[in-house]
């Protein structure tokens, strides 16, 4: 096993990886941009190396500086976390070339799965169902004809895409050509790759993904599925395992397909195979993420495993420590992503200084966080601050525990989606397990914040006003300091 590992990431995931390193007695090296110098991931590490760069996110993407930091500190391996360099084949290759270990798959597999068109072809070639689709091969006219042949509605997607960028839903033939051109333009801008393809659009689909672990020699176990259907702006905000209301045969079919794909790719590392599940039970391969996922804790809680520890063991060349027959999910886990954003303003990211932070605790509660009180949330990085996860014997218990924990979690100083998440968890459709990717849009009216009662408004207004010593003085005309110390109603 490694003695020292560099974590090429920041925020909650860097703290999460550091925790496992500590559990395994491995020294952890953090890298950071100057703006993050007091961040928890820096304070949690055994050593920390600053990455010089004018642009904060660019610092965490600097291949050469990160590899140099690993070499200088004597780290033997680099864990990329998620985002940043985690699915960057060139970086994985550079790490391998420098004689260090990249904690992830082979750069060849990253490249294969990173190209949606090639990944789809690979999946189809190995008998994994893919949605009926059309690629732009010869002329645009030919492409549009074949696309129309699939039947509307259709979804235009970018080959290099992600996060909904370059994606368009097309419901009629007349919209098709303009949508293809618009999607290609957007894909070119975001990914410098204007290739698009079209597939059948599934109405009210669910997003089901399967966690796998592969040893790189064809040995693969699956760690069951997660349902990540609850999304806003194509980004997941609530994830759970197991997926609610999935018949056993369907679960077996989906996990089996994921295992076959990972095995065929001789996949090494933790990975996730994503599927779209239609209301009629048909499912299609979507993509494979060749890294640890944000939502990995729900799998860890229902299976009592440490996925980061498994990643480290696999990267160090050990055989898989888990046998498929030993993996039996216990209970249910739900995660929600705590983001600095304003749901009432179309989830616009928010910034500010976290003046006050109260953390939740309780049975089955896990809080993976990269924030602390006093920290400033800037627009430089992703708006996700932390993840709150609850485990219970049943979905109902996990959901109730999560709501209670959200109620205990207080973040003051920067707006967050905490209350919105509570409303989603208490929404009747969500509670009944009737989830699909359009749920938040469908339920938007019911998920809106109610106006406060006049009494709550009065309490809040007075609490704010009375926090200002000057307000006391002006309103009550009393000399300082008496006006300030709370005894003004003498």
Partner 1 sequence: MTYRMKIDDQDVTLDIVARRPLLRARVGSDEWQVAESPVAEAVFEISLNGRTHRGLRCAGSARTVHVWLDGRVYIVELPLPAQGVRSAASAANEIRAQMPGVVLAVHCAGGEAVAAGAELVTIESMKLQTTIVAARSAIVDQVHITANASVARGALLVSFRRETPEP
Q: Do residues 77 and 24 touch, judged by C-beta distance below 8 A?
A: no
Q: Residue 417's closest CA among 395, 437, 443, 447?
A: 447
Is 256 strand, coil or helix? helix
Is residue 245 a contact point for partner 1 (CB under 8 A)? no
Nearest to 334 by CA among 206, 421, 212: 421
In the block, residue with structure tokens 């966690």: 211
Q: Quick one: which segment of 126-134, 169-177, 220-228, 482-490 binds partner 1 (CB under 8 A)?
A: 482-490
Query: Can residue 488 be called a binding residue for partner 1 (CB under 8 A)?
Result: yes
Please report whether residue 419 would count as binding partner 1 according to CB under 8 A: yes
Placement of tokens 């393809």 in the chain: 197
**DSSP tag of 164:** T
- Residue from 135, 412, 431, 447 that binds partner 1 (CB under 8 A)? 412
Q: Which stretch binds partner 1 (CB under 8 A): 47-55, 66-74, 196-204, 467-475?
A: 467-475
Which is nearer to partner 1, 211 or 417 (by Cβ)?
417
Decide whether 318 or 344 has the Cβ nearer to partner 1.
344
DSSP states along 176-212? HHHHHHHHHHHHHHHHS---EEEEEPPSS-EEEEEEE
Choose between 426 and 443: whose C-beta lies nearer to partner 1. Answer: 426
Which of 174, 467 has the CB closer to partner 1?
467
Instruction: Decide: is 76 part of the binding site for partner 1 (CB under 8 A).
Output: no
Report, in Å, the least distance between residue 425 CB and partner 1.
13
Please choose, from the candidates 296, 306, 265, 285, the residue with its C-alpha nearest in 3D space to the C-alpha of residue 105: 265
Phi, psi of 454 (to 5 degrees): -65, -30
- Binding segment for partner 1 among 165-173, 316-324, 389-397, 469-477 (CB under 8 A)? 469-477
The residue count for binding partner 1 (CB under 8 A) is 51
415 binds partner 1 (CB under 8 A): yes
SS3 321: coil
Residue 37 interacts with partner 1 (CB under 8 A)?
no
Residue 38 binds partner 1 (CB under 8 A): no
In angstroms, rounded to a whole number, what is the distance separating the alpha carbons of residues 244 and 226? 9
Across-strand partners of 79?
A: 7
Of the pair 150, 466, the CB lying nearest partner 1 is at: 466
- Give the dihedral sign, CA 444/445/450/451: positive
Does the active-site annotation cover 291?
yes
Q: Which of 318, 410, 432, 444 binds partner 1 (CB under 8 A)?
A: 410
Smallest separation, CB 12 to partner 1 (Å) = 21
Helices (H), 98-160: 107-114, 116-125, 140-150
Stretch that binds partner 1, among 25-33, 70-78, 233-241, 448-456 (CB under 8 A): 448-456
Instruction: Name the catalytic one among 291, 399, 401, 423.
Output: 291
> DSSP 3-state assignment of 359?
coil
In the bound complex, what is the minimum distance in angstroms from residue 470's beta carbon to partner 1?
3
Residue 150 near residue 131 (C-beta atoms within 8 A)? no
- Closest contact distance (angstroms) between CB of 82 and partner 1 is 28
The token pair at 154 is: 């259709």
Q: Which of residues 324-383 bind partner 1 (CB under 8 A)?
A: 344, 352-353, 355-356, 358
Smallest distance, Å, CB 356 to partner 1?
5
Candidates 316, 296, 434, 394; CA nearest to 77 is 316
Which residue lies nearer to partner 1 by CB, 139 or 454? 454
* Three-state SS at 92: helix
CB of 346 to partner 1, least distance (A): 14
Shortest spacing between CB 466 and partner 1, in angstroms: 6
Closest alpha carbon to 345 in 232, 428, 453: 232
3-class DSSP assignment, residue 458: helix
Rounded to 5°, angle at Cα 260 from 78 and 302 = 65
Distances 41 to 14, 298, 372 between C-alpha atoms, Å: 6, 22, 10
Q: Which stretch binds partner 1 (CB under 8 A): 37-45, 46-54, 68-76, 458-466?
A: 458-466
Q: How far is the CB of 352 from partner 1 (least distance, A)?
A: 6
422, 425, 435, 439: residue in contact with partner 1 (rule CB under 8 A): 422
Should residue 468 be labelled a site residue for partner 1 when binding is judged by CB under 8 A?
yes
- Is residue 462 near partner 1 by the rule CB under 8 A? yes
Q: Provide the annotated active-site residues.
A: 291
Binding site for partner 1 (CB under 8 A): 344, 352-353, 355-356, 358, 407, 410-413, 415-416, 418-419, 422, 451-452, 454-471, 473-477, 479-481, 483-489
């Amino acid at each position: 096993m490694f003695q020292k590992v560099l974590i090429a990431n920041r925020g909650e995931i860097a703290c999460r990886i550091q925790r496992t390193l500590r559990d395994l007695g491995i020294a952890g090296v953090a890298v950071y941009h100057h703006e993050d110098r007091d961040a928890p991931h820096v304070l949690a590490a055994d050593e920390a190396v600053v990455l010089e760069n004018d642009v904060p996110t660019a610092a965490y993407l600097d291949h050469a500086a990160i590899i140099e930091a690993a070499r200088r500190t004597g780290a033997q391996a680099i864990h990329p976390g998620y985002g940043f360099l985690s699915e960057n084949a060139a970086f994985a290759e550079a790490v391998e070339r420098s004689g260090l270990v990249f904690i992830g798959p082979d750069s060849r597999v990253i490249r294969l799965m990173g190209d949606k068109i090639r990944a789809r072809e690979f999946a189809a070639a190995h008998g994994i169902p893919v949605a009926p689709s059309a690629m732009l091969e010869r002329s645009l006219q030919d492409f549009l004809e074949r696309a129309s042949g699939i039947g509307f509605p259709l979804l235009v997607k970018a080959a290099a895409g992600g996060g909904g960028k370059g994606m368009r839903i097309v419901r009629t033939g007349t919209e098709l050509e303009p949508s293809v051109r618009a999607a290609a333009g957007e894909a070119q801008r975001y990914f410098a790759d204007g290739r698009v393809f079209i597939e059948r659009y599934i109405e009210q689909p669910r997003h089901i993904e399967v966690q796998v672990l592969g040893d790189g020699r064809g040995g693969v176990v699956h760690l069951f599925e997660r349902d990540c259907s609850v999304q806003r702006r194509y980004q997941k905000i609530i994830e759970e395992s197991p997926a609610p209301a999935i018949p056993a045969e369907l679960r077996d079919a989906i996990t089996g397909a994921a295992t076959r794909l990972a095995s065929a790719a001789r996949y090494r590392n933790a990975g996730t195979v994503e599927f779209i599940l239609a209301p009629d039970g048909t499912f299609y391969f979507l993509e494979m993420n060749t890294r640890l996922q944000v939502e990995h804790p729900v799998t860890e809680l229902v299976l009592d495993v440490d996925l980061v520890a498994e990643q480290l063991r696999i990267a160090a060349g050990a055989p898989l420590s888990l046998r498929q027959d030993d993996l039996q999910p216990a209970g249910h886990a739900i995660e929600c992503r705590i983001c600095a954003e304003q749901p009432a303003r179309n989830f616009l990211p928010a910034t500010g200084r976290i003046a006050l932070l109260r953390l939740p605790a309780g049975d089955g509660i896990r809080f993976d966080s990269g924030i602390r009180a006093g920290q400033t949330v800037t627009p430089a990085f992703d708006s996700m601050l932390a993840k709150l996860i609850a485990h219970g014997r049943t979905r109902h218990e996990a959901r109730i525990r999560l709501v209670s924990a959200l109620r205990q979690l207080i973040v003051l100083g920067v707006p967050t989606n905490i209350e919105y998440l509570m409303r989603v968890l208490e929404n009747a459709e969500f509670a009944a397990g009737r989830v699909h990717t359009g749920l938040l849009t469908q339920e938007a009216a019911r998920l809106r914040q109610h106006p406060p009662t006049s009494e709550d408004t009065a309490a809040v207004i007075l609490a704010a006003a009375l926090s200002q010593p000057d307000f006391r003085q002006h309103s009550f005309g009393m000399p300082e300091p008496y006006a300030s110390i709370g005894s003004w109603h003498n």
